[in-house]
Amino acid sequence: AYRDMYVGGLNHNGELINEAQQKLGDIFLELAEYNSRQPAHLQFFPDIRRLRNEALAAVYPQYRIMRKNKDMVAETIELRLALGLD
């Protein structure tokens, strides 16, 4: 759902963004309902920052490259350019 929000932003597609936000809202409501039935030690708390970072990496190749091996950034960018990926 986070990925859809970023893709919608890139493509200026408000409908996709709204659908993704609705999907996230539904997921969080379902999660809250699940957690309300569980004892504290069995409750699930997703790592929102990690999910957001993974969505950014899926949408923006440069972001993914910069997060990986810092020594290989220039080489990876050159390789992507040579392969016509960017």
pLDDT tens by residue, 30-77: 999 999 999 999 999 999 999 999 999 888 888 887 777 777 777 877
- Confidence at residue 27, expressed as pLDDT on a 0 to 100 scale: 94
Greatest C-alpha distance within the chain = 54
- Confidence at residue 82, expressed as pLDDT on a 0 to 100 scale: 83
Q: Cα separation of 70 and 85, whole Å?
A: 20
Query: Nearest 5 degrees, angle CA 66-CA 69-CA 74?
Result: 65
- Confidence at residue 38, expressed as pLDDT on a 0 to 100 scale: 93
Question: Using CA atoms in the order 35, 41, 47, 48, what is the torsion angle rounded to 10 degrees?
Answer: 30
- Confidence at residue 10, expressed as pLDDT on a 0 to 100 scale: 87
With tokens 């990876």, the residue in question is 76
